[in-house]
Each structure stands twice: as structure tokens, then as C-alpha cells.
């Protein structure tokens, strides 16, 4: 039943009514997001964005898992990484403990084998059977009983790969900014031109990851805090509507929602503390970002700068400290 307080899905503009509601997380719950609304999408339109949401979750999940970020459903899973010196593939859990993908077998001076178990016991038996063919006196059962589990912890000599600037990621980031704008204003006429971009039907240059020399948010990692943060602002003088999305206090995106904005001037912000699980809204004084600066950022070629590398290293240090505290607690 449609009432005077009913709202429309900003994708298809059909009224959202009982039986057609969808609880949309503005920042993915898989990445720890808590801010959500049933007044954005209808149930039919929400699946249109499953692909871009899944890609955003896939790429940033290693960080969410290493920080032991809480979700409404599911538990943080170990992530696959590689030891730099040896190239060995490993799993790292949310407190930094390492589990090997493959068992290792080393010959000690006393003639015994030192076996470190990995994730595949069948692989270990296969290796031992191969050794037994060359050494018939080898007691496989005895060697299996002597196997030890690895108790290695995360150090700085591991690496894993994730993408932060693909077209799919950019569309997912754009959806976050659009969702927050509609959530803040209950208005969508100024952003509906971006819907074909969200759907992957048009290519629009409206999102770009920013170099950390542009400090749009207070730097929190050195204070022992890691945030997901959002800004949305409409400037009636410059006729521009934009958003800024920052993930894990590190990856900062500018989103040009409209360069022909005809609405009222307004601003809103939001922050979620991932480790303390505290929401703040409004979060901060919105910085002034000129139209010329936004267009400059959108036109820049992506190249890792020393500022960006420093920010990544700061996040890695934060994760190490956070995991060390978790192991002690």
C-alpha cells in the first residue's frame, strides 16, 4: 500500500512497498559496513549490482579479514598470501597466524625428518610415500606422529595482491556515494544520469582514486584507528555535486556526482570505526573541494606516489599492531 511517506527506488522509480523492500548496506557489510537503508532500492533492482558489490568485497576482503572485521553473517576467513623470500604460498588468519598450504619436510642432522604440516594431509602422505620408495625402512606412521604444526606469525615479508582502481571497483564506489547522497537527502534527480554507468551500460569518467597528498579526512591510522568514511556535498555556487569515499583510512576516492548541479548547497559526512565498531554521523567539518580540483584529480594518470606507498605501509603497520594485541587478549 502506497502512503504519503512512501519512497521510490531511485533506479526504477517504482514505489518501495511491503514485499518489495531491500535492506541496502551503503558500505558493504562484508567489509564491516553498518550504515544501511530500506529506502534506496527495490528488491527487483538490488541484484543488478551484485557483480560490482562482489568484486569490491573480493578485492578488499583481505584487509577486512586481517583486521577481523565483524559482519552480520559469516566469520573472517584466512587469506592467501606469499612469503617474499621463498615464494611459498601461505594462509594468514585474522590474528596473523600462518598456515602453510603445503607440508614441508627437512632432513635433520640426526637423520630424522622434521615435518611441518600444511593444509593438505593427503599431499603430506603422498610426499612420504615417495620418500619410502627410496627408503623402504621409513616408518610413515611414526613420521606423521612427529609432524608439528607451524606456529609462524605474520611479518613484513609477505605479500598479497588486490585491485583498487578497476572499472568495476569504480562503479561500486560510485554506488556508495550515490547511496549516501540519497540516504542524506531523499532526492535523486541530480544523480539519475549515473544509473547507466552503475549498470555497466555507459562509460563515464566520474570516479578516481586520489593520491594521499589530498587530505580530505583526518589521518587516523597513527592514532590507532581505522575508518570507512564518506563525504557528500552539493555546491550551489560552483554547481557541483560530489562525494568522497575512503576505505580503511587509506584508499580515498573522489566521485563526481554532477557537474551541472542545480540544487541547494548542503553537506553530510559519516564515519565507521572498524575496530571499535562505532558509527559517527556527522563525522567532520566538510572540507572545501573546488570544481577545478575535482576535475584535475579525475584527469590525472594513476601512478603510485611516495605518499600513497607511505599510507599503505602505515596500514600494514596498523594491522600488525592490531593483530599482536588480538593475540595477547
Question: Going residue by residue through the chain (329 aa), what tens digit of pLDDT does each one get?
Answer: 555 578 999 999 999 998 899 999 999 999 999 999 999 999 999 999 999 999 999 899 888 888 888 877 666 666 666 766 766 676 666 666 666 666 666 665 655 555 555 555 666 667 677 777 777 777 767 766 665 544 444 444 556 677 888 999 999 999 999 999 999 999 999 999 999 999 999 999 999 998 877 888 887 887 889 999 999 999 999 999 999 999 999 999 999 999 999 999 999 999 999 989 999 988 777 888 999 999 999 998 766 677 778 888 888 888 888 887 777 76
Length of the chain: 329
Query: Does the reported pTM lie above 0.85?
Result: no
Residues 6 or more apart in contact with residue 26 via CB below 8 angstroms: 33, 35, 36, 37, 40, 176, 179, 180, 183, 230
CA 301, chain centre distance (Å): 23
Burial zone of 48 (CB within 10 Å; 0-12 exposed, 13-18 middle, 19+ buried): middle
Separation of first and last alpha carbons in the chain: 51
Pairing status of strand 148-149 against strand 113-117: parallel
d(CA 191, CA 10): 9
Domain boundary among 159, 189, 218: 159
Beta bridge partners of 104: 116
CB 86, CB 45: distance < 8 Å = no
Same domain, 149 and 267: no
For position 150, what pLDDT does the model report? Answer: 47
Q: Does 294 lie in the same domain as 262?
A: yes
Do 165 and 67 lie in one domain? The reply is yes
Kindly state whether residues 196 and 253 are assigned to the same domain: yes
Q: 100 and 119 in contact (C-beta within 8 Å)? A: yes
In this structure, are 192 and 63 located in the same domain? Answer: yes
Alpha-carbon dihedral angle through residues 65, 320, 283, 265, given to the nearest 10 degrees: -80
Does residue 319 form part of some domain?
Answer: no
Q: How far is CA 266 from CA 83, 214, 256, in A?
A: 48, 21, 15
CB 173 within 8 A of CB 56: yes
137 and 40 housed in the same domain: no
Domain count within the chain:
2
Q: In what order do the strands lie in the sheet with 104-107?
A: 104-107, 113-117, 148-149
Cell output for 325: 594485541
For 146, the domain range is: 79-159
Amino acid at each position: 500500500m502506497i502512503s504519503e511517506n512512501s519512497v521510490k527506488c531511485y533506479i526504477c522509480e517504482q514505489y518501495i512497498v511491503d514485499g518489495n523492500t531491500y535492506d541496502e548496506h551503503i558500505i558493504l557489510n562484508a567489509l564491516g559496513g553498518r550504515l544501511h537503508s530500506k529506502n534506496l532500492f527495490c528488491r527487483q533492482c538490488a541484484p543488478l549490482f551484485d557483480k560490482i558489490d562482489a568484486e569490491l568485497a573480493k578485492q578488499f576482503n583481505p584487509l577486512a579479514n586481517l583486521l577481523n572485521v565483524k559482519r552480520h553473517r559469516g566469520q573472517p576467513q584466512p587469506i592467501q598470501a606469499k612469503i617474499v623470500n621463498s615464494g611459498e604460498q601461505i594462509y594468514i588468519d585474522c590474528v596473523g597466524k600462518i598456515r602453510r598450504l603445503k607440508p614441508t619436510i627437512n632432513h635433520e642432522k640426526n637423520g630424522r625428518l622434521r615435518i611441518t604440516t600444511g593444509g593438505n594431509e593427503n599431499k603430506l602422505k603422498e610426499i612420504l610415500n615417495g620418500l619410502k620408495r627410496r627408503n623402504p625402512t621409513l616408518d610413515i606412521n611414526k613420521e606423521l606422529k612427529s609432524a608439528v604444526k607451524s606456529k609462524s606469525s605474520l611479518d613484513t615479508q609477505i605479500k598479497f595482491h588486490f585491485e583498487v582502481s578497476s572499472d568495476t571497483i569504480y562503479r561500486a564506489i560510485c554506488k556508495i556515494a550515490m547511496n549516501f547522497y540519497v540516504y542524506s537527502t531523499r532526492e535523486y534527480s541530480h544523480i539519475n544520469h549515473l544509473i547507466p554507468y552503475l549498470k555497466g551500460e555507459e562509460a563515464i569518467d566520474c570516479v578516481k582514486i586520489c593520491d594521499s597528498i589530498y587530505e580530505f579526512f583526518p589521518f587516523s591510522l597513527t592514532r590507532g584507528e581505522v575508518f570507512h568514511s564518506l563525504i557528500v556535498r552539493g555546491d550551489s555556487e560552483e554547481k557541483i555535486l560530489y562525494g568522497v569515499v575512503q576505505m580503511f583510512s587509506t584508499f580515498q576516492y573522489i566521485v563526481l556526482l554532477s557537474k551541472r548541479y542545480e540544487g541547494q548547497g548542503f553537506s553530510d559526512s559519516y564515519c565507521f570505526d572498524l575496530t571499535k565498531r562505532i558509527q559517527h554521523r556527522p563525522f567532520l567539518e566538510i572540507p572545501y573541494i573546488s570544481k577545478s580540483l575535482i576535475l584535475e584529480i579525475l584527469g590525472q594518470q594513476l601512478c603510485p606516489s611516495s605518499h600513497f606507498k607511505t599510507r599503505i605501509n602505515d596500514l600494514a603497520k596498523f594491522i600488525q599492531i592490531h593483530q599482536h594485541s588480538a593475540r595477547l587478549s
